[in-house]
A and B are shown apart, each in its own frame.
Chain A
Amino acid sequence: MANSSAATPSQGLQRRFKGCSKIGEYEMMQKLGEGTFGEVHKARHRISGSIFALKKILMHNEKDGFPITALREIKLLKMLSHDNVLKLDEMAVERPKAEGRKRAILYMVTPYMDHDLSGLLDNPDVKFQEAQIKCYMLQLFKGLQYLHDNHILHRDMKAANLLINNRGRLQIADFGLARHYDEAVPQRGRGNGEAKREYTTLVVTRWYRPPELLLQLRRYTPAIDMWGAGCVFGEMFKRKPILAGHSDLHQAQIIFELIGSPNDQNMPGWSDLPGAESVRQFAGNQGTIASRFRELSPTGLSLIKDLMKLDWRKRINAIDAIDHPYFREQPLPMREEDIPHFADSHELDRRNVRGQKQALPPAPAGGTVGGGPNGEWSGSGQPPQSWQNGDRRYGGPQDRGPPGVDRHQRGGYDRRAPPYEHRPPPPPPGERRPNWGNGTDSRHGNLPAPPSDGRHPLPPVPRYGPDGDRRRGGQPAGDTYIPSYGNDGPRRSREPDGPGRSREPDDRPRRGSRDSGNSRDGHVDERPDRGRAYRDRDRDRERPNDSRNFARDRRDGRTRSRSPERRDRNRDRDGDIYRRR
């Protein structure tokens, strides 16, 4: 086989990347905002015409190679499939044109969502009805239930990270801070459980940060996301963040003013937390939540109180929140398609006239802040460098922003609503049918249950444990996502509608741990119409003529195709770095 060309293997043929498309396939439109690790642009796919959001992965902190936050987010999104979780369509590569710039720029391609909740609430032309709020909250809880049931903590729950489209669909976005949760998942009626191991407390944007994180609890649970959901719930009524603290201490103060000061009844163990000393001065508050949320019905008030319980063990979990009586009383949750389109409000223009806006405190920058790959501080308490950001509105100091970044830093999308589409929005992607009422997901129906714990409980392989060379030293197995249950496949395996795709009835036990299945055995759901409304609508929603099928087919074809003609060979020829001398 060694022919003449074999003698000179380094002379090249062209090679293409599979699995990632080129950025040239997308036509960049306007910038939508800045995420934790990159800009977000709106873009049109040149062939299908569909609109996507492209999130650029910035490589400004390259000392650990490909950013761990981005890698985690990509990996998580590739494994997740839920109607209320933003889907990662693909990765697009922008190959550097100039010589010398060796690294390509990468974009995460996700469906374009018309608004984010924060921007929507900022828009004075948009008035939420209570039924609509209920619809959004239900979707949020379903998304959170799916995440928590799959051992994932989102850790940056906030209105700006909840994307909403003009079809009434809400999706949780920005998994830049998300991580695997090592503990048992929340179970019906049992709150959010307790964690056995420690995680970094440097998570969640301050206004949405729960009291236990402010008090530096390291063994936190999915309850931290539920607190954020409570803040979002209140925000939808008040149309502005309900707990806008301008420092961590102030944040704790206004929380305790709203909910009541911590004591051993409402927050057992609070005084043992590292941050407890500094908040003792706030004792004696009774809590003003009932008077502040007078517009809520008694059940609505009970829901927000359940979500904003100081005791993270008793805080309501997503499963129970979905079943809360609030969603069964009048006005009933609106159906997604009944939600009015918020078209033509030109909110962006108005904002530009208005000029100023209230800047959200920046999200913690995860791994990039901590320096290590794990985004954790070796100690508790304040991070070594608290960057002081002047906040235009409050003038108070802000911390935890990355240095040298403008104050508009925020996760996922800008808070302002993106401009509106005058054309009808793209149809829902066919391969992601709504699976409302399917519990979480139907695709695992014919497979054995995954191991009950998220991790491989496998003893026989040699296990040496974490070694000592971890940069931050001393910290046991760190703040790192541990894969265990991923579902993934290359593009080619994502056939639009495989024959084996089953849709199962609603009463199937939710996928997930065996424990969670058992725990539901004893539970009788007394709601006769639970999930019905959603399921009925699924039928209308399934549109076979998804315009994106074309793009997908093309993509599939491309990845499958051979590319024997490989011409340009301008790749990095720096393999010799690894050569021996």
Chain B
Amino acid sequence: MQPSPLTNPLATVTQLETSGSQLDGIPTDLEDSIRFAGARLTQAAGMLLRLPQEVIAQAILVFMRFWVGPDGGSLAEFGAEQVSAASLYLTTKLSAYPKSARSLINVYAYLSSNPTTFANLDHLQQKPPETSYFVSEGTYERRRATLFSTEQRILKTLGFQIQVNLPYTLCITYLQALDVFTHPRASELAKRAISHLNTALLSPQMLYLTHQPTSLATAAIYLAAREVNIKMPEVEWWEVFDTDREELGFLCVGMLSVEGFAQQEREKWEGTRVPLDVKDLEAEMKRRSEITQD
């Protein structure tokens, strides 16, 4: 099959079975946590860089693709933070909103100055001291070197497959096709559907790597319509958008489960940081092995 402008290369079963991190002995739950935190970090950095959501979403998917499969990157080798930064850098470089390495490094330094990964709102209101995220010229040089080498590793690992097709536009097109925009609460529905698409980016099931944009858009609309309580056609309308009932159900469950997962993660890492670089990860692994030994 020739690729099309509406589809993405999906992860194969083999790739989903094993990851580079697993082969390096990193437990799956830890990997899930780190991937989730890394994706959130990318989203946060993208927002601080004033990037459009499309660009951020592409960066998150490049980030996600990097870890997949036995040939993918391993957390034992690459910190999630450096991969997140390089994914964002790479994606913006090809977008209409290129960012300088300096901006990117500053933003990541600012974000990692947060004492906890899951900060509450009060926390964010307080202004951290500027010294906590100041990047000196020497540090900048070193981080920039890492940024560039990580960028190359991403390109190589992904086989230069950095093109990402997103479901956002499709979602709106589908809503138009379903003729819901005549409904008074249509914008509520559309916003909800887009929120679901944004949430799914963070899914530990990597829904964007296992399902095509068409299905993601359809499932987001289905869920949103139920939540907003707007009636959809009685027929199996999702079939029109290349999604069968089974896939729709799976995606709905997957999208809804992100909330619970996020809740668990927040409790699990309350007051601490998810290890987003190699050194922290090694410390975390050590801590875990000590616990099991005791």
Contact partners of A498 in chain B: CB under 8 A: 1-2
Is B278 positioned at the interface, with any CB of A under 8 Å from its CB?
yes
Contact partners of A17 in chain B: CB under 8 A: 71, 156-157, 159
Most buried by B among A571, A572, A578: A578
Interface residues in B199-213 by Cβ distance below 8 A to A read none
Is B258 positioned at the interface, with any CB of A under 8 Å from its CB?
no
Bound-state Cα–Cα, A576 to B281, Å: 11
Contact assessment for A2 and B288 in the assembled complex, using a CB-CB cutoff below 8 Å: yes
Contact assessment for B3 and A560 in the assembled complex, using a CB-CB cutoff below 8 Å: no
CB within 8 Å for A10 and B76 given contacts A16-B71, A491-B159: yes
Most buried by B among A6, A487, A575: A575
Bound-state Cα–Cα, A5 to B1, Å: 41
Is B255 positioned at the interface, with any CB of A under 8 Å from its CB?
no
Is A13 positioned at the interface, with any CB of B under 8 Å from its CB?
yes
Per-position 1/0 for A15-41, Cβ under 8 A of B: 111111000000000000000000000
Binds B, one of A61-69, A329-337, A406-414, A523-531: A61-69
Chain A residue with Cβ nearest B281: A9
Is A7 positioned at the interface, with any CB of B under 8 Å from its CB?
yes
Task: From the candidates B71, B77, B279, name the one contacting A571 in the complex (CB within 8 A).
Answer: B77
Bound-state Cα–Cα, A495 to B156, Å: 21
Bound-state Cα–Cα, A20 to B122, Å: 47
Most buried by B among A17, A483, A562: A483
Contact assessment for A6 and B27 in the assembled complex, using a CB-CB cutoff below 8 Å: yes
Is A471 positioned at the interface, with any CB of B under 8 Å from its CB?
yes
Residues of B in contact, count (CB < 8 Å): 92
Task: From the candidates A10, A66, A93, name the one contacting B151 in the complex (CB within 8 A).
Answer: A66
Is B149 positioned at the interface, with any CB of A under 8 Å from its CB?
yes
Per-position 1/0 for A480-505, Cβ under 8 A of B: 11111111111111110010110000
Chain B residue with Cβ nearest A9: B76
Is A280 positioned at the interface, with any CB of B under 8 Å from its CB?
no
Bound-state Cα–Cα, A443 to B5, Å: 10
Per-position 1/0 for B35-75, Cβ under 8 A of A: 00000000000010111111000000000000001110011
Chain A residue with Cβ nearest B273: A580
Bound-state Cα–Cα, A53 to B27, Å: 44
Contact assessment for A448 and B93 in the assembled complex, using a CB-CB cutoff below 8 Å: no
CB within 8 Å for A578 and B2 given contacts A1-B28, A62-B148: no
Contact assessment for B93 and A493 in the assembled complex, using a CB-CB cutoff below 8 Å: no
Bound-state Cα–Cα, A75 to B3, Å: 14
Contact assessment for A482 and B159 in the assembled complex, using a CB-CB cutoff below 8 Å: no
Interface on chain A toward B: helix, strand, loop, or mixed SS? loop
CB within 8 Å for A451 and B173 given contacts A64-B101, A498-B1: yes
Is A354 positioned at the interface, with any CB of B under 8 Å from its CB?
no
Interface residues in B152-193 by Cβ distance below 8 A to A read 152-153, 155-163, 165-166, 168-169, 172-173, 190-191
Contact assessment for A9 and B285 in the assembled complex, using a CB-CB cutoff below 8 Å: yes
CB within 8 Å for A19 and B25 given contacts A103-B152, A480-B98, A575-B278: no
Contact assessment for A66 and B14 in the assembled complex, using a CB-CB cutoff below 8 Å: no
Contact assessment for B6 and A7 in the assembled complex, using a CB-CB cutoff below 8 Å: no
Is A466 positioned at the interface, with any CB of B under 8 Å from its CB?
yes
Whole-angstrom distance from the CB of A467 to the nearest CB of chain B? Answer: 4
Interface residues in A446-478 by Cβ distance below 8 A to B read 447-448, 450-451, 456-458, 460-467, 469-471, 477-478
Contact partners of A486 in chain B: CB under 8 A: 5, 163, 165
Contact assessment for A450 and B96 in the assembled complex, using a CB-CB cutoff below 8 Å: no
Bound-state Cα–Cα, A372 to B20, Å: 35
Is B95 positioned at the interface, with any CB of A under 8 Å from its CB?
yes
Contact assessment for A577 and B9 in the assembled complex, using a CB-CB cutoff below 8 Å: no
Contact partners of B28 in chain A: CB under 8 A: 1
Task: From the candidates B12, B23, B77, B156, name the one contacting A575 in the complex (CB within 8 A).
Answer: B77
Chain B residue with Cβ nearest A79: B163
Bound-state Cα–Cα, A458 to B176, Å: 12
Chain B residue with Cβ nearest A487: B3
Task: From the candidates B51, B97, B278, name the one contacting A576 in the complex (CB within 8 A).
Answer: B278
Contact assessment for A71 and B94 in the assembled complex, using a CB-CB cutoff below 8 Å: yes
Chain A residue with Cβ nearest B143: A577
Contact assessment for B9 and A488 in the assembled complex, using a CB-CB cutoff below 8 Å: yes
Whole-angstrom distance from the CB of B242 to the nearest CB of chain A? Answer: 9
Is B145 positioned at the interface, with any CB of A under 8 Å from its CB?
yes
Is B127 positioned at the interface, with any CB of A under 8 Å from its CB?
no
Residues of A in contact, count (CB < 8 Å): 97
Contact assessment for B94 and A15 in the assembled complex, using a CB-CB cutoff below 8 Å: no
Task: From the candidates B23, B191, B286, name the one contacting A566 in the complex (CB within 8 A).
Answer: B23
Contact assessment for B98 and A374 in the assembled complex, using a CB-CB cutoff below 8 Å: yes
Whole-angstrom distance from the CB of B247 to the nearest CB of chain A? Answer: 17
Per-position 1/0 for A544-581, Cβ under 8 A of B: 00000000000000011111101000011111111110
Most buried by A among B28, B173, B194: B173
Chain B residue with Cβ nearest A493: B9
Contact assessment for A579 and B279 in the assembled complex, using a CB-CB cutoff below 8 Å: yes
Bound-state Cα–Cα, A576 to B142, Å: 10
Contact assessment for A480 and B292 in the assembled complex, using a CB-CB cutoff below 8 Å: no
Chain A residue with Cβ nearest B78: A575
Bound-state Cα–Cα, A71 to B108, Å: 24
Whole-angstrom distance from the CB of A482 to the nearest CB of chain B? Answer: 5
Contact partners of B281 in chain A: CB under 8 A: 9
Is B116 positioned at the interface, with any CB of A under 8 Å from its CB?
no
Is A218 positioned at the interface, with any CB of B under 8 Å from its CB?
no
CB within 8 Å for A91 and B143 given contacts A462-B52, A564-B23, A579-B280: no
CB within 8 Å for A578 and B3 given contacts A15-B74, A480-B98: no
Contact partners of A301 in chain B: CB under 8 A: none
Is B244 positioned at the interface, with any CB of A under 8 Å from its CB?
no
Task: From the candidates A12, A65, A574, name the one contacting B101 in the complex (CB within 8 A).
Answer: A65
Is A104 positioned at the interface, with any CB of B under 8 Å from its CB?
yes
Is A102 positioned at the interface, with any CB of B under 8 Å from its CB?
yes
Is A132 positioned at the interface, with any CB of B under 8 Å from its CB?
no
Is A317 positioned at the interface, with any CB of B under 8 Å from its CB?
no
Contact partners of A102 in chain B: CB under 8 A: 149
Is A314 positioned at the interface, with any CB of B under 8 Å from its CB?
no
Binds A, one of B82-90, B230-238, B260-268: B82-90
Is A508 positioned at the interface, with any CB of B under 8 Å from its CB?
no
Bound-state Cα–Cα, A576 to B277, Å: 7
Contact assessment for A373 and B159 in the assembled complex, using a CB-CB cutoff below 8 Å: no
Chain A residue with Cβ nearest B69: A18
Chain B residues near A (Cβ < 8 Å): 1-7, 9, 12, 14, 18, 20, 23-28, 47, 49-54, 69-71, 74-79, 81-82, 85, 89-90, 93-103, 108, 112-113, 142-143, 145-149, 151-153, 155-163, 165-166, 168-169, 172-173, 190-191, 194, 277-282, 285-286, 288-289, 292
10 shortest interchain CB distances as A-B pairs = A19-B159, A461-B53, A6-B25, A489-B3, A464-B50, A9-B76, A498-B1, A443-B2, A577-B146, A65-B148
Further 20 A-B residue pairs, CB within 8 A, beyond A66-B93, A103-B152? A15-B74, A65-B93, A65-B101, A65-B152, A75-B94, A104-B156, A106-B156, A372-B98, A460-B190, A464-B52, A467-B50, A483-B94, A486-B5, A488-B161, A489-B9, A490-B161, A559-B159, A560-B14, A562-B18, A579-B279
26 chain-A/chain-B pairs, Cβ below 8 angstroms: A6-B26, A9-B24, A9-B76, A71-B155, A91-B156, A106-B156, A373-B98, A443-B2, A451-B173, A456-B166, A458-B54, A458-B169, A480-B96, A485-B5, A487-B7, A489-B1, A490-B161, A492-B12, A493-B3, A494-B3, A564-B23, A571-B77, A576-B278, A577-B143, A578-B82, A579-B278
